[in-house]
Amino acid sequence: MNCNTLSQIFCLLCFFVGWPAAAQSVKVSVENTLDFDRVEVAAIEKASLSGFLARHDKKHLRIKREGTEAFLPIQWTDYDGDGNPDALLFQAFVPAKSTTNYVIVSDSIKKISRTEIKAYCKFNPDRDHDVAWENDKVAFRAYGQKKQRQSKKATLDEGSSGICPLLKKVNYAVLDDWYAKNKKLAGYSHTDHGEGYDGYSMGNGRGIGGTGLWLNDTLQVPKRFSECRIVDNGPLRVTFELVYEAWSTHLVEETKRISMDLGSNFSRFDVYFTSNTKAPNYAIGISLHQNTGQAKADREKGLFRYWETIDGVPIGTGLIVEPKLVADALTHTDSDPDQSHLLVVTKPRDRLSYYAGFAWQKSGQANTAADWDALMEKQLLVLQNPLRVTTY
């Protein structure tokens, strides 16, 4: 047997000996370049797992921190809505300026533990035709047209299409329980029974992140949403789409794609809209209510916030908008609390992305306006410096 033949046999042996080990796991490194610890949802693109998935059933995929045995919650997410998963999500913990390693394995026996600490979305066609979403930090709600049609006060030509915060102070999911108890006892969620309550006054205001057109010192706003489609529903991320029928003198047709991760105080809004003419002064708003709080706008950084009290308890609300998209920022006060807003007016375009969030003092996340400013600054750094995920 010549040397060339021996070399070929050796190479084949190396391949077949090494192949099973390589196929059994995938190593994932997550790097944090910032100077504070981070607990965030990280994404692994499905394409980078193609070799592993070719040999293992996707439903048996598990991920754990290197050196540990407990499997972490995971979620497949669909970016483009085609029904096929595009990335694998997991919640990573990475200390300041360091890297944490994780391992993906296949296990058909050991299950992932279920938890009520999760991101969760609930559509309620049998109640107000509204949609609510929550995580371990915050909860929100948006209203559909069923309640608007039934309301004696509102008509289909009026607003009530803002984004309403629900004031929770526990890290576990509460929406199902609150809605179930509301059916038995009307107004149950408007009283704090130890978990928080629905205490934010919406009216026809924009709440936190509702939209409109700022024309001639008047805010034209959409009707409540007419359609809702849930794309992802936890446990790590919720994603859903709201469709709004044509509104304003420009006949704006609008779709909001909203997502929120476990561990974040902020929801991401990707808004797509068309109109019969190029709609000017598309605005994002924060309700100022009685104008007794502290409004602050930092156009250079794209940070806009309001600090006020609700039933005697402080709450910080805020928007993060890319500075180059901002045409103007203003506070508009009115004798009607529903019409008083901190408005971020954006440059004309067909798509707009921004973040809207809050922190309620009773949740323990922000005690002062300075705390809320610091939390918003921290969120901005997180957005500007995403975790670096590498597979090998």
**Per-residue pLDDT for 11 more than 70?**
no
Determine which of 67-71, 126-130, 289-293, 379-383 has the lowest per-residue pLDDT on average.
Answer: 126-130
pLDDT at 157: 41
Q: Is the pLDDT of residue 392 over 70?
A: yes
Closest CA to 320 of 340, 346, 294: 346
Residue 288 tokens read as 């100022």
- As a CATH number, domain 120-384 is 2.70.98
Instruction: Name which CATH class applies to 20-105.
Output: mainly beta
pLDDT at site 4: 53
d(CA 39, CA 345): 32
Ranges for all domains in the chain classified under CATH 2.70.98: 120-384
Quick one: pLDDT at residue 154? 41
- Determine the average pLDDT of the residues in 156-184: 88
Closest CA to 273 of 304, 247, 240: 247
Calpha distance 332→214 (Å, rounded): 11
pTM of the model: 0.91
pLDDT category, 282, cuts 50, 70, 90? very high
Summary mean pLDDT of the chain: 91
Residue ranges, CATH 2.60.40.1180, the chain: 20-105
* Helix intervals (H) in the chain: 3-24, 50-55, 145-150, 175-184, 369-384
Kind of pairing, strands 313-321 and 303-310?
antiparallel
**Cα(19)–Cα(117) distance, rounded to whole angstroms?**
38
Kindly indicate the confidence band of residue 127, based on its pLDDT and cuts at 50, 70 and 90. Answer: low
Percent of the residues in the chain that have a pLDDT greater than 70, as a whole number = 90
Question: Distances from the Cα of 267 to the Cαs of 87, 164, 258, 379, in angstroms?
Answer: 19, 12, 7, 11
Q: Is the pLDDT of residue 15 over 90?
A: no
Mean pLDDT of 105-123: 92
Mean pLDDT for 382-391 is: 98
